Structure 1
Amino acid sequence: MMTATIANQLELFKPFKLINFGLINHNFTFVDLFSGIGGFRIPLEELGGKCLGYSEIDRESIEVYQTNFSSFINSDEIDLGDIRSLNELPFDEIDVMVGGVPCQPWSIAGKSLGFDDPRGKLWFDVIRLVEKNHPKSFIFENVKGLTEPRHRESFIYIIDQLKEIGYQVKHDVLNSYDFGLPQDRDRVFIVGIRKDLEDSSNFAFSKPASKEPKLYDFIQGIECRNLTKKKFSSEILFDGKIPASRGRFQQNDELNDFFTFADIRNGHTTIHSWDLIRTTQREKLICQTILKNRRKKIYGQKDGNPLKFEILEKLIPNLNEQEVEMLINKNILRYVQAQGYEFVNSKISSGINGVSKIFLPHSNVISTLTATGTRDFVARVSLECQEPNEYKKMFIREIYKKRRFKPISAQDYARLQGFPEWFVIANNENIAKKQFGNAVPVPIVRYLAKALLKIIL
């Protein structure tokens, strides 16, 4: 059951309501590039904007876009089609140009080909369209990967080109969590204002002061109960050595509020395949030995090497091949010809038995929603236990084995991206998830646009 908390959270951003945009007095215009399903359009129209035209080539996204905005589309609004075919647009003045430029060329989830990917070259079309049509301002969004060292040269080129064609340009990486959404989603936003406009250099990125969102505020069918967490020393949680890989939403003195299913990593809330089925202490020792040594460079240059029996018998006293074969029979290990033994579950993204992570209802965030989908789930109930030695065992017993967890639905995706309740999603669940995974978080756009409009208007 949804709680009143979500309403309180969204009140920070003036929740969007289904209104007759045809009756309001428009005070600015915008063009919606790479419009997708309308993540930019929703907050811009709510702020009083009139869409002059939209550009999108994915037919399924266009269907959803038109379903939601057809009653607001005026006779003079134009379906602009493919951005690669556009040049000078038939509009007297464009106040704001927006777009979520395709991110796959810059994402670690893609092949990271940058400008060598045809989709990466779409930035050239964006720059050309801005130069030809001179909008007063623009807001463009992309993955954080565009700003990282491997793509830094390309990113600087994009920014410099936008500056050279007459714009004051600023950029920042913003996280959805800071704008009231319980999703760990970093995205770079590029904001430009035409230099001939007064105060064009005055735009500044800032973050709203929001309450901490929780998953139970946004996802239906999970328990709504906050827990006061105990504090622990690093000696208790990490044997005194805090892993450098811990992220922003993992407290170093608290138990994690999610569980990761992976045989190739370790941690106080990491679930291994040998934790889920009946295994002896000796079998667990063999698995842990492989886990601790598989990444050592003395055994190979891969980020995870199969280990030969000759190596294992030196690491594990009195080891015999029958013991290793038993773990193969249990589908925990496999033998790679001429290389050695490795885990069957050897990819973090694949998880174990189709599960990558299970988040507890009181978690502050869930992992980034993607177009390709995730193997993340949410527990239906909270976990009272906060004793480190029992935490994982109780989770397996009370939540995992009793199947007290649920997949994240397309409607959950919509809420986690800040889309309003009136928004009509695609009929196909997988298509809807893909569309929301590609979408821009609505509250961030609204916040940026509000700040931008104060200057250009």
Structure 2
Amino acid sequence: MEQESKFTFVDLFSGIGGFRMALAANGGSCLGFSEISRDAVETYCDNFAEASDGNLGDVRKIEALPPHDLLTAGVPCQSWSIAGKNLGFDDDRGQLWNDTLYLLKQSRPKAFIFENVKGLVDPRNESALGHILERIREAGYHARHHVINSCDHGVPQNRVRVYIVGFRNKGCFERFRLPPPLEARKTLGDLLGIQTRVPAAATASPGRVMSLSSKNGFNDYFLFNDLRNGDTTIHSWDILETTDRQKHLCHLLLQNRRKRVYGRLDGNPLSLPHFQSLDPTVALDELLALVDLGILEAEEYLFDVASPKRHALAEEESMVLACAAGGQLVIDDLKGNRSLGLGRGGIARTVEALKEKGIITCREIRYDFKNTKISTGLFGVNRIFLPSSDRFPTLVASDTTDYIALDDIEPTTTEDYRRQFLEKIYRSGRFRRISKREACLMQGFPGEFRLPDARARWMKLVGNSVSVPVIDMLCKAILETGVFAPKTKKPGSRTSVAAGS
């Protein structure tokens, strides 16, 4: 049953209706929405029983909006190149932020909520944010930006976004207050229907607590990569069948590859003599065995350079040879030289071409981990979150390699925590990607919210949406200012006034 209308709103960049769901639940009546994604429009109309002709279409082509009380806009992130143009509201259409501000100026609602990615408040975008706020002020509004994490307001998702909330009436603006974050947070276990318990404090000294969710010294998720170490980091040598000796060699590399003595990069491969300086018993065949396992990778690192006088050189070959010094060429010098403009693939191809011409000859081979991209994880897994976690990584339009565990574990020590996870969760296959229903719940939509069947399609729609509980919180705070209160007569006066007029 719909509530009696307390205010009207227009929903720009509506997506699948995150703004609308929250505002309608608080008595708002939608007078029109604007969206250009076909999937989003169909999903919006299906779930809100909205006729497709309610779509106002491309924001860049809208000349006027119907009179309304509240304007909302989940403005897509851009490069924010609008800063510094100062062309005026009628002359700078085409940039989505400018189009939004143009419609705000034209329609003059009593209040608005604009949403954007957290990058808008980064120092590098300071001028862009300042430009937006100045344009809002020029339009006759009092506004402030707020950085809000969805996990603080009722959903288990780490989603930090910027919300600009503004009022035409200064008194309403001054009365606007955000409520404090919720003390009781939902967990992934609430979504899965799994009862979780907070682990007792770790009896061993815990490693560095990671940035998302942790309790009593235990991280609520396990990270899969070979370049970092910690109590809840899983390495490829933990997954593949390896001996204690092989694990020892991997840890030697892990603990030393970032030391400056081995190179100038953040992570450097080590040669056989380097390994032997750390442990004199290391043999070449041991390193090659780890290469065969797919844990290490051999890399030609240092080259002797011969005279190229008898060879015709391509431009990129000359550029690479220009990095040589003292008759030697170091791969580090190429990787760290941005002016080359070749990228890793271009460097590798050019080095091969110079080898084929006999201009360079490998002098030193080094060894590094094969998996050197932290974000890609290992064997298709980046992170696995336990049901006890109160936040999942930000849902984005593209799918991720983050998973949820289907069982909880009760560790007693940090060593036991790792052992239980590997045995009960990872090796038992008790983990999976989030489902469509769970993605909806992580954004505050009903689990039965209707979305396309294809995972790529619904993941894009949900990932591009706003979190419904955050909008619900903002809407309630706006209502409490009295901005939409009905007009009342002043005693002894024939005129009428309203809080938000």
| TM-score normalised by length of structure 2 | 0.77
CA distance, structure 1, for counterparts of residue 39 and residue 445 of structure 2 = 18
Preserved CA contact (<8 Å) 1:193 1:201: no
Q: 1:174 deviation in Å?
A: 1.1
CA distance, structure 1, for counterparts of residue 106 and residue 466 of structure 2 = 25
Q: Which deviates more, 269-278 or 133-142?
A: 133-142
- Given candidates 79, 87, 111, the residue that maps to 2:55 is 79
Q: 1:64 deviation in Å?
A: 0.8
State the partner residue of 1:178.
152
State the partner residue of 1:419.
445
Q: 1:347 deviation in Å?
A: 1.5
Alignment partner of 1:227 is 2:197? yes
SS of the counterpart of 2:57? coil
Preserved CA contact (<8 Å) 1:180 1:210: no
Preserved CA contact (<8 Å) 2:176 2:480: no
SS of the counterpart of 2:432? strand
Alignment partner of 1:206 is 2:179? yes
Q: 1:193 deviation in Å?
A: 0.6
SS of the counterpart of 1:173? strand
Alignment partner of 1:144 is 2:118? yes
Preserved CA contact (<8 Å) 2:179 2:477: no
Q: 1:39 deviation in Å?
A: 0.6
Alignment partner of 1:330 is 2:293? yes
Preserved CA contact (<8 Å) 2:226 2:371: yes
Alignment partner of 1:312 is 2:275? yes
- Given candidates 69, 72, 81, the residue that maps to 1:115 is 81
Structure 1 segment 249-328 matched on structure 2, within 5 A: 249-251=213-215, 253-328=216-291
Q: 1:225 deviation in Å?
A: 2.3
**Cα distance change on mapping 1:156 and 1:139 into 2, 3 Å:** same
Q: Which has the larger radius of gyration?
A: 2
Structure 1 segment 29-48 matched on structure 2, within 5 A: 29-48=8-27
**Cα distance change on mapping 1:299 and 1:127 into 2, 3 Å:** farther
**Cα distance change on mapping 1:138 and 1:116 into 2, 3 Å:** closer
Q: Which deviates more, 202-211 or 406-415?
A: 202-211
**Cα distance change on mapping 1:164 and 1:309 into 2, 3 Å:** farther
State the partner residue of 1:101.
75
CA deviations 1:391-440 (Å, max 9, x no partner) are 21221112111101121112110011110234211221221011111111
Q: Which deviates more, 304-313 or 58-67?
A: 304-313
SS of the counterpart of 1:361? coil
State the partner residue of 1:439.
465
State the partner residue of 2:190.
217
Q: 1:129 deviation in Å?
A: 1.8
Give 5+ residue unaligned stretches, structure 1: 1-18, 106-112
CA distance, structure 2, for counterparts of residue 317 and residue 125 of structure 1 = 67
Q: 1:259 deviation in Å?
A: 0.9
**Cα distance change on mapping 1:130 and 1:310 into 2, 3 Å:** farther
Alignment partner of 1:410 is 2:436? yes
Preserved CA contact (<8 Å) 1:88 1:132: yes
- Given candidates 358, 361, 379, the residue that maps to 2:387 is 361
CA deviations 1:176-206 (Å, max 9, x no partner) are 12111111211111101114x6533321222
**Cα distance change on mapping 1:425 and 1:210 into 2, 3 Å:** farther
Code of the residue aligned with 1:124 in structure 2: it is N
CA distance, structure 2, for counterparts of residue 102 and residue 313 of structure 1 = 54
SS of the counterpart of 1:358? strand
Preserved CA contact (<8 Å) 2:143 2:173: no
CA distance, structure 1, for counterparts of residue 6 and residue 435 of structure 2 = 37
Deviation above 4 Å: which 4+ runs of structure 1? Answer: none
Preserved CA contact (<8 Å) 1:37 1:61: yes
Preserved CA contact (<8 Å) 1:274 1:284: yes
Q: Which deviates more, 338-347 or 299-308?
A: 299-308
CA distance, structure 1, for counterparts of residue 13 and residue 441 of structure 2 = 21
Preserved CA contact (<8 Å) 1:102 1:120: no
Preserved CA contact (<8 Å) 2:257 2:267: yes
Q: 1:370 deviation in Å?
A: 1.4
State the partner residue of 1:399.
425
Q: Which deviates more, 261-270 or 210-219?
A: 210-219
Code of the residue aligned with 2:460 in structure 1: it is K
Structure 1 segment 143-162 matched on structure 2, within 5 A: 143-162=117-136
**Cα distance change on mapping 1:116 and 1:333 into 2, 3 Å:** farther
> RMSD across aligned C-alpha pairs, in angstroms?
2.4
Code of the residue aligned with 1:237 in structure 2: it is P
CA distance, structure 1, for counterparts of residue 45 and residue 147 of structure 2 = 30
**Cα distance change on mapping 1:122 and 1:296 into 2, 3 Å:** farther
Q: 1:268 deviation in Å?
A: 0.4
CA distance, structure 1, for counterparts of residue 433 and residue 212 of structure 2 = 24
State the partner residue of 1:5.
none
CA distance, structure 2, for counterparts of residue 169 and residue 402 of structure 1 = 52
State the partner residue of 1:12.
none
Identity, % of aligned pairs?
A: 40
Preserved CA contact (<8 Å) 2:437 2:447: no
CA deviations 1:196-246 (Å, max 9, x no partner) are x653332122235442211111135xxx2222422237x7113xxx46xx3
